[in-house]
Amino acid sequence: MRLHLLFLLCGVVSGFFSPISKPTVTGVVSLIPSTSPTASRTPAPDVSSWQYDKNRQSKHVHDFYKLFGWLKSGDTIRDFEMPRAIRKIQRILHEPETGVYDQKMETVMSRPKCGYVQPYNETDAMANETMSRRYVLWGPKWDRTTITYRFINYTSDIPQDRQRTLVSEALLKWTQYLPISIVPAPSNVRADIHFRFMSMGPGENAYAFTNMISDGLSLASGLVNITFNDDYNWADDRLFNYTAVHEIGHSLGLSHSKVEDAWMWPYYDAKLGPLHPDDQAAVHQLYGWKNPRWKRIDNNSGTKYIVQVSSDPLKTAPLDGIYQLRSSGQVLRHDGTASWISIDNNKDTVQIAGSAGNVYQRHTDGSIYKYTGSGSNWQYISPPSDNTLEIVAAADQLYQRRKDGWAARWSGSGTTWLTIEQPSMSRQIAVTQSKTLWNLLVSGEVVRSYWPYGNGWTIVDVNADNIAIAVGGDEFYKLQSDGKVVWLDMEAYFWHEIENSGSVGIYAAGGYLYSRHRDGSVWRYTGTEFIWEQLDAAATSAGVIGDWKGSVWEIMRSGEVLKLVS
Ligand SMILES: *[C@@H]1O[C@H](CO)[C@@H](O)[C@H](O)[C@H]1NC(C)=O
Ligand SMILES: *[C@@H]1O[C@H](CO)[C@@H](O)[C@H](O)[C@H]1NC(C)=O
Ligand SMILES: *[C@@H]1O[C@H](CO)[C@@H](O)[C@H](O)[C@H]1NC(C)=O
Ligand SMILES: *[C@@H]1O[C@H](CO)[C@@H](O)[C@H](O)[C@H]1NC(C)=O
Ligand SMILES: *[C@@H]1O[C@H](CO)[C@@H](O)[C@H](O)[C@H]1NC(C)=O
Ligand SMILES: *[C@@H]1O[C@H](CO)[C@@H](O)[C@H](O)[C@H]1NC(C)=O
Ligand SMILES: [Zn+2]
């Protein structure tokens, strides 16, 4: 390894020097409750003028009910039933159940919505508290593995070949995970799925609808039509992509999901990301998985662990990717296809970490280096120190957890580090995308400091059972010794149990959360409490990691590294 000698020769080794006897440490205790949201929230109805626009409210509530199959055709919700209907919607929207139409309902329901009429589902329509927030299947599915499609006509908003590209990409969004393919129909045969554009007239805010006829078991050729509302301007490719992916979900047999971030949620919100775990779980339920589900990308018994470096689903930096550390100290970067490239080989390396295109390593003597991106050149950013326990990269920052209990952050230049006051001995630190620093103390207490950390810290949880923490984007999770995984609902502000037993390790990236169980199996959270999708049942997993786009890698006890391909 070549160091950037410049820093050494100039003697700018400022480093940080931690106080041995700490100054008065300041913090506050403000525990987050773990009771149920209904019990802990005080309903605070929002009284604004639109609340009294009864017709608009009523139309929105009826639309919502139809989108989820809660209204028998021809039925209406009567005035005295409105508060209950609104409470039911508020439960889906994670809103305080006030029974009074509120600002969030107005915001969500004013958006362009899907025009697919979900079949009436009596169980769901009648359910109150027990209603599950997850995907719903229509019932029938395709009974073959090659499905065809054709455009009946096109919008005049954008060129036809662009429309074909957008649709074929939207199809891939689903089929990349499935043992089926959806291809253009040859000209002499009937297509399975049709795309067309049609004006739906003023006053209709549906972006599209899908209609289907089925014998109840399988979807039938030529009887599935996806119709885009040509009154929208399809030059907006965000809306086009969203609409195509959502409607194709219907054409595969999916109804609307009650998970607000899923693609099968019926209201358009301009957020485009990877397929949500809830959508993936739904299509896997119908069509199974590609075989094999995992692809081996390395087999070396010396591999200690793997890390992923990324920080935004929409952006990629040149050094984003997967890295591994071998017990020999060698650091390798996966080139994304088939091979690993050595970027350092130094027996002193004991840890690697990275985020947002930055890659770092720590040596046994506590010194820290940042990868320059070329060859095996690393920049020296911290002098040796026996105070250094661990480095943690998050957003565009690098942190270190220290023996004296405090944390430190690299200033970004030279070897200068800034200390971040913490109350006592730490077990693990984790930093969110907005740079909130979470610290799990040896005592099991969880403390939090906000960027730029000038205002001390707050104790938010006291529980000797807390054994690990994880952050994904701005979400925070903790793992308890009883195998429970707990999510912090920042909006309602309470601890929310999402897994009730079995977990021994958690990992989060962006919107994804993974859990490894005592029996070695690996799971992905679907976004609905207690509902996890099993990714691997093998008893030999040593760890699972993922990136912001939803890719998943697993390391086995043998040192083998696998990538989820389905
Ligand atoms: C009704 O909805 C529930 C919950 O979403 C679902 O489990 C069930 O399969 C649905 N029933 C039918 C007949 O679609
Ligand atoms: C849900 O609540 C309504 C009104 O309070 C009640 O009529 C209905 O029986 C409840 N449904 C279930 C499944 O408990
Ligand atoms: C597309 O075809 C449908 C009939 O299937 C028709 O109603 C609609 O007007 C056509 N749209 C365009 C843009 O030609
Ligand atoms: C889909 O469109 C085709 C061609 O226009 C038509 O024959 C078929 O009946 C339509 N299917 C449904 C379910 O509307
Ligand atoms: C929509 O999809 C197309 C084709 O994959 C892509 O080029 C375009 O960037 C996407 N647009 C947005 C806003 O994601
Ligand atoms: C992985 O490596 C081990 C030992 O190096 C070898 O015994 C095993 O056959 C390899 N597995 C595969 C699937 O190549
Ligand atoms: Zn829909």
Q: Which residues, including other chains, have CB under 8 Å from residue 224's CB and lie 6 or more apart?
A: 192, 193, 194, 210, 211, 212, 213, 251
Average pLDDT over residues 346-351: 97
Residues making up the annotated binding site for Zn(2+) are 114, 246, 250, 256, 264
User: Could you tell me which residue, 469 or 132, shows the higher pLDDT?
Assistant: 469
Can you tell me the mean pLDDT for 458-475?
Answer: 96
pLDDT value, residue 268: 96
pLDDT value at 108 more than 60: yes
By C-alpha distance, which of 541, 491, 494, 532 is closest to 514? 532
pLDDT of 23 strictly over 90: no
The answer to whether the CB of 271 is under 6 A from ligand 5 is no
- Give me the amino acid identity at 234: W
| Mean pLDDT of all residues in 106-127 | 91
Please return the burial class of 529, using the count of CB atoms within 10 Å of its CB with bins 0-12, 13-18 and 19+: middle
Integer Cα distance of 135 and 256 in angstroms: 7
Least confident residue range of 87-96, 177-186, 395-404, 479-488: 87-96
298-315 pLDDT, tens digit per residue, is: 999 999 999 999 988 778
pLDDT of residue 156: 97
Fold of 3-43+136-287: Collagenase (Catalytic Domain) (3.40.390)
Q: What is the rounded CA–CA span in Å between residue 564 and residue 553?
A: 6
Average pLDDT over residues 497-525: 95
At 521, list the tokens: 């199996």
- Kindly give the number of the ligand 1 atom that is closest to the alpha carbon of 134: 5
Q: Going by CA atoms, what residue is nearest to atom 3 of ligand 1? A: 124
Whether pLDDT at 46 is above 70: no
**The predicted structure's pLDDT at residue 387:** 95
196 lines ligand 3 (CB under 6 A): yes
Expressed in angstroms and rounded, the spacing between residue 181 Cα and the centre of ligand 4 is 22
Nearest Cα residue to 448 out of 32, 36, 33: 32
Average pLDDT over residues 48-53: 55
Tokens of 427: 């077990």
Residues making up the annotated binding site for Ca(2+) are: 157, 192, 230
Average pLDDT of the chain is 90
Main-chain dihedrals φ then ψ at residue 107, nearest 5 degrees: -65, -50
Domain map of the chain by residue range? Answer: 3-43+136-287, 50-109, 294-564
* pLDDT tens-digit series, residues 64-73: 999 999 999 8
Q: Which atom of ligand 5 is nearest to the CA of 169?
A: 5
Assess whether pLDDT exceeds 70 at residue 5.
Answer: no
Q: How confident is the model at residue 19 (pLDDT cuts 50, 70, 90)?
A: very low
Q: Please tell me if the CB atom of residue 29 comes closer than 6 angstroms to any atom of ligand 4.
A: no
**Confidence (pLDDT) at 364:** 97
* pLDDT score of 342 more than 70: yes
Active-site option among 97, 247, 475, 560 = 247
Question: Edge to edge, what strands does the sheet with 522-528 contain?
Answer: 503-509, 512-517, 522-528, 531-536
The 10s digit of each residue's pLDDT in 236-287 is 999 999 999 999 999 999 999 999 999 999 999 988 888 999 999 999 999 9
* CA of residue 114 to ligand 7 center, whole Å: 4
CA of 238 to the centre of ligand 5 (A): 7
pLDDT at 176 over 70: yes
The finding on whether 238 has its CB within 6 A of some atom of ligand 5 is: yes
Indicate the pLDDT class of residue 440, thresholds 50, 70 and 90: very high
Q: Output the pLDDT for position 16.
A: 45
**Ligand 5, closest atom to CA 272?**
14
Per-residue pLDDT for 24 more than 90?
A: no
pLDDT band, residue 371 (cuts 50/70/90): very high
Class assignment of domain 294-564? mainly beta
Quote the ligand 6 centre to 562 CA distance (angstroms). Answer: 13
Other beta carbons less than 10 A from residue 502's beta carbon: 17
Q: Is the pLDDT of residue 203 over 90?
A: no
What pLDDT does residue 9 have?
Answer: 27
Q: Which ligand is nearest to the CA of 239?
A: 5
The residues that bridge with 250 in the sheet, in sequence order, are: none
Share of the chain above pLDDT 90, in %: 74
pLDDT, position 3? 37
Q: So what's the pLDDT on residue 42?
A: 43
Ligand 2 atom nearest residue 130's Cα? 13
pLDDT-derived band at 478 (thresholds 50, 70, 90) equals very high
pLDDT reading at 47 higher than 70: no
Give the model's confidence band at 18: pLDDT under 50 very low, under 70 low, under 90 confident, else very high: very low
C-beta of 347 in contact with ligand 5 (< 6 A): no
Residue with CA at minimum distance from ligand 5 atom 12: 238
Q: Give the model's pLDDT for residue 27.
A: 79
Q: Say whether pLDDT at 14 is over 50.
A: no
Identify the pLDDT of residue 152. Answer: 96
pLDDT band at 35 (very low <50, low <70, confident <90, very high): low
390 is an active site residue: no
3-state secondary structure string across 244-304: HHHHHHHHCCECCCCCCCCCCCCECCCCCCCCCHHHHHHHHHHHCCCCCCEEEEEECCCEE
Mean pLDDT of 27-50: 58
pLDDT of 562 reads 96
Starting at the edge strand found earlier in the chain, the sheet holding 466-472 runs 466-472, 475-480, 485-489, 494-499
**pLDDT grade, residue 51 (50/70/90)?**
low
Q: Is residue 386 pLDDT above 90, yes or no?
A: yes
